[in-house]
Structure 1
Amino acid sequence: MQLNYFIYLITPFCAWLSAGCLKFFINSIKAKKLAFGLVGYGGMPSNHSAIVSSTTALIAFKEGLNTPAFGVALTLSFIVLLDANSLRQQVGKHAKAINTLSENLIIKPNLRERMGHTRLEILGGIIIGICVAYLLYIVSTMKCWI
């Protein structure tokens, strides 16, 4: 398989890996210990934002802004970004309220409260996604790979 097509598969993975490693590093510094439990939902940068923005940016770099593929990718990105900022934050707030209300119960649900992203965390993910897409785009256009 040529790198030109394979790049559409590896770009979101590389963006996810980059954002995840950076999130682990940032959370470890904040917690002053290895923060394996804090890599999941929420935090800086947003993995979801990095994944969708890397795919959207790669399509823009390789195919252009006036293509149907870019329009579909941009639409998907907006849905994911809005979900990360609004819906998932609300889920986290509800989890916190349920955990608080259930403090006197014998069996506590212990729901994860850290969900969703701030706009800054989403922006961080978008920047990582675009940078990863650009780097892989440059690599894919090098003559030695074809």
Structure 2
Amino acid sequence: MQNYIYLITPFIAWLICGLTKFAINCLKERRLAFDLIGYGGMPSNHSAIVSSMASLIAFKEGINSPAFGVALTLAFIVMLDANSLRKQIGEHAVAINQLDNYQTINLRERIGHTKLEICMGVLLGTCIGYTLGSA
């Protein structure tokens, strides 16, 4: 497994975070919430994926490695995008959906993330990176 740790870590983070998000949505909605699968929600899947890789590199190679610098930069870009641009796109979708009553397909409104959702994604991703990196 150690030979493929850098390859499988983001996939495992995606899977664990996605299952966690689905469970949280089902508990909140008190139903099987298959329609809520996708962007947005608790925890941030994108943040978990990039954090798992950044933390794996930090634990395996150290924070002074060039790979960690690249991974951390990518993580910041993804998290800033999730909180700003994608969140604003979701707010625009809400306004557009309210304006056009004749539209047959509504735009998806849950796209971005709150800071708490991003932080929980980072926490989950870091735990996964640490766990897999120390195995």
Aligned to 1:60: 58
**Secondary structure in structure 2 of the residue aligned to 1:45:** coil
Rounded to whole Å, the distance in 2 between the matches of 1:67 and 1:5 is 19
Q: Secondary structure at the match of 2:84?
A: helix
Cα RMSD for the two superposed structures:
1.0
Equivalent residue number for residue 99 of structure 1: 97
Aligned with 1:116 (options 99, 102, 112): 112
Gaps of 5+ in 1: 140-146
Structure 1: distance between partners of 2:23 and 2:76: 27
Q: Which residue of 2 aligns with 1:144?
A: none
Which whole-Å CA distance do the structure 1 matches of 2:23 and 2:89 have between them? 25
- Paired amino acid for 1:125: G
| Counterpart selection for 1:130 from 109, 112, 126 | 126
CA deviation map 1:6-48 (0-9, x unaligned): 0001110111111101101100000000111112110000000
Partner of 1:40: 38
TM-score relative to the length of structure 2: 0.96
Q: Is the CA contact (8 Å cut-off) linking 1:42 and 1:117 kept in structure 2?
A: yes
In structure 2, what is the Cα distance between the partners aligned to 1:138 and 1:62? 8
Structure 1 runs (4+) deviating above 6 angstroms are none
Counterpart Cα distance in 1 of 2:117 and 2:76: 15
Between the aligned partners of 1:95 and 1:89, the Cα distance in structure 2 is: 10
Report the count of equivalent residues.
Answer: 135
